[in-house]
Structure 1
Amino acid sequence: MSRFLQEIITDENLVWNKSLENNPEKFFVKLTSKTISELKSDRKELTNLDESCFPELKNEINELKTKKILQGVGLLIIDGKSFLDFSKDEITKIYEIICNILGTLYIQNINSEKIVEIKDEGKSMTLGGRYHQTKEGGSYHTDSPHWTKVPDLVGMLCINQAKKGGISKFVSAYTIHNQLLKEQNDGLKTLYEKFHFDKRGEFKINESQTIFEPVFVFKNDKLYCRFLSNYIIAGHQIQNYPLSKLQETALQSLEEISKNKNNVLSYDLKANDMAFFDNHRILHGRTEFEDYEDENRKRYFLRTWIKFE
């Protein structure tokens, strides 16, 4: 078991709750007119995905990375209204360039995709589907918990909103940890032990169908969280290794705290909005959604996983 964080954290950039909605300046930004003008004047260069062609954008994004993500609350949302004068294809290119400025794009599946579509494919979490392939909500999680190495950042570009629902939710792992430390110390210690995570079919021949990792790790004075309840339950079923009563209680408590509306920042990402957040200290989810019948209007996001250089 890794070192155990035994103190209540009070830093407001690490520990926050629903009240953060009252201070959007801590996570929400509009790109400067200078940056937008640069993108407009050099829009032909967008196809090349060369960040060096956009020094104003690069400087602004690096500054936001430091202020909002590394030293701030861990969340950055860029207002999609900044991109009203660009086509959908151009916005997608801008998004990819911003991702490259923030770090290195991570492969997300065995198909080696670095940009993945988030849309309802008619699948279900209970039947082995991955979260981004469903219209389900409520499952607060970190991304890629079933891979040994997880990305530092998750990026999302909203192309289409749902007809109803699909509101993004964010909760601080430090807030969850604080509450568990106050109320369930033994259960919290259990979450520093290893669990089996179902790889959801993302494994090669002769490779284990699960990985074995802890939910919480505290190292270099930072808290790291890896969590997706469905994957843990399925992982232990695959390995025929039942969860202990203490493990079940600890996992249920973590999930209940993450779903407590007083702990959750809600944000309805609109067309062209971009969100980037720390995948180690922020759990995220969404509300269940209802789609339009028109295929061209269905809820559609692009997701990237980003590793810091």
Structure 2
Amino acid sequence: MVHDQPQPLTGACVWQGDAFRQPADWVYTLSAAALADIDRAMRTVRDAGLSLDAVTPAQFDLPALADDLASMADILHTGRGFVRLQGIDRDRYSDDELGIILWGLGTHLGVGVSQSQRGDRLGHVQDRGEVGRYYGIGGPIEVHMDPVDVTGLMCLTPAMRGGATPLMSSFAVHNAILAERPDLLAVLYRGFHYGSETVLSGSPPASEHRIPVFNFVAGEPDCFFLPAAIRGPNGEPRSQLPAIEQEAIAYLQAVANRPEMKIDMVIEPATVQFINNRVILHARADYQDWPEPERKRHLLRMWVMMPSWPRRPPEVQMLRSTDRAGGGIAKAEA
């Protein structure tokens, strides 16, 4: 529930980027034993011809990584809200094999869900000119979160230059706004209506109610901020929102983009990153692609629901039609 008088939030999920300038503070380097387990598990799934939905933690068995994955799940839920794994040899695997690895790792954290009405299990973050979809366009992307518990990313091909993915603590941003502009924080606690044309093309508006940007679900902090889908009460474009609401959106984004607030993550090939969308905001810096089409910046994205986390009640959910585990986007009827 939303507090009548917001207070500064404390805890591990409230941090500023200055606390994580050294990668050793937050990057997990996979051991030789863990890499061997990942390789064996990937080959088991690949050779069996399993669909991604059919992959279970038992089938993608990672004994050398079990304790670390449990620790990562705790970090996502009650810690800083993001984890990063490195050490996989990009040149050893095809794109499809790396997709199996990303999905297999994600199954040890939660339940993978669809990212679009097409039923995509793995999203391809690449400039394909898909206006209205953050992950289908090039260039910079504004501060936002994904409408799912956890997002997993794996880099297949980096940009020629640029393309960092800044991460920000949602509730560090909350605390700064509380200290500087409590009038705007009240607007953010009231929240916004969310239209669906940029997320579910051709669907009716998904949110007839306001969804608070900052909220608490079963006492746990919960942020929901997806500017591309924000609409006014009648589904009007954001430019037609009341001036105070436009100001609140702009102020949140400006605070999140302060250098001291963010970590400018550069995801190297075959590096894996998981973030808790309830407490982490992210964005993307502008970048320049390679001139060769086959070398365009390309990341794989996985959406994960966490059944062990408190379920968001209907009044703070954007999507009516979900895939499974209470999240994702249901596949459109043929």
Do they superpose with TM above 0.5?
A: yes
- Cα 1:240/1:170, change in 2 over 3 Å: closer
Shift of 1:57: 5.2
**Structure with greater proportional helix content:** 1
2:115 aligned to 108, 111, 129, which one? 108
Shift of 1:60: 3.9
Deviations 1:10-54 (A, max 9, x none): 33x222122133343442101222222233455531324443142
* Higher alpha-carbon deviation: 203-212 or 156-165: 203-212
Shift of 1:276: 0.2
Output the amino acid matched with 1:31: L
* Higher alpha-carbon deviation: 104-113 or 17-26: 17-26
C-alpha separation between the residues in 2 aligned to 1:44 and 1:230? Answer: 39
- Aligned partner of 1:82 in structure 2 is 88
- Cα 1:211/1:110, change in 2 over 3 Å: farther
- Cα 1:4/1:223, change in 2 over 3 Å: farther
Matched, 1:71 2:71: no
Matched, 1:97 2:104: yes
Output the amino acid matched with 1:86: R
- The number of residues matched between the two structures is 296
Deviations 1:168-187 (A, max 9, x none): 11000011000111111121
C-alpha separation between the residues in 1 aligned to 2:214 and 2:256? Answer: 14
The 8 Å contact of residues 83 and 91 in structure 1, kept in 2 or not, is answered as no
- Aligned partner of 1:148 in structure 2 is none
Shift of 1:4: 4.5
- Cα 1:68/1:24, change in 2 over 3 Å: farther
Deviations 1:257-296 (A, max 9, x none): 0111110111110110111000111000111111112122
- Cα 1:170/1:110, change in 2 over 3 Å: same
2:158 aligned to 145, 158, 161, which one? 161
- Which stretches in structure 2 are left out of the alignment for 5+ residues? 308-334
- Aligned partner of 2:246 in structure 1 is 248
Output the amino acid matched with 2:138: K
The 8 Å contact of residues 18 and 265 in structure 1, kept in 2 or not, is answered as yes
Give the fraction of aligned pairs with identical amino acids, expressed as a percent: 22
Correspondences of 1:114-125 after superposition (within 5 Å): 114-124=121-131
- Cα 1:42/1:97, change in 2 over 3 Å: closer
- Cα 1:218/1:4, change in 2 over 3 Å: farther
Matched, 1:3 2:10: no
- Aligned partner of 2:300 in structure 1 is 302
Shift of 1:240: 7.1
Output the amino acid matched with 2:110: G
- Which stretches in structure 1 are left out of the alignment for 5+ residues? 145-150
C-alpha separation between the residues in 2 aligned to 1:156 and 1:106? Answer: 14
C-alpha separation between the residues in 1 aligned to 2:26 and 2:19? Answer: 9
The 8 Å contact of residues 162 and 299 in structure 1, kept in 2 or not, is answered as yes
Output the amino acid matched with 1:38: D
Deviations 1:174-223 (A, max 9, x none): 11000111111121111111312231354486732655422221232222
Correspondences of 1:207-218 after superposition (within 5 Å): 207-208=204-205, 212=209, 213-218=211-216
C-alpha separation between the residues in 2 aligned to 1:108 and 1:84? Answer: 25
C-alpha separation between the residues in 1 aligned to 2:10 and 2:160? Answer: 39
C-alpha separation between the residues in 2 aligned to 1:182 and 1:39? Answer: 46
The 8 Å contact of residues 133 and 198 in structure 2, kept in 1 or not, is answered as no
Output the amino acid matched with 1:280: R
C-alpha separation between the residues in 2 aligned to 1:240 and 1:264? Answer: 29
What SS does the corresponding residue of 1:52 show, helix, strand or coil? coil
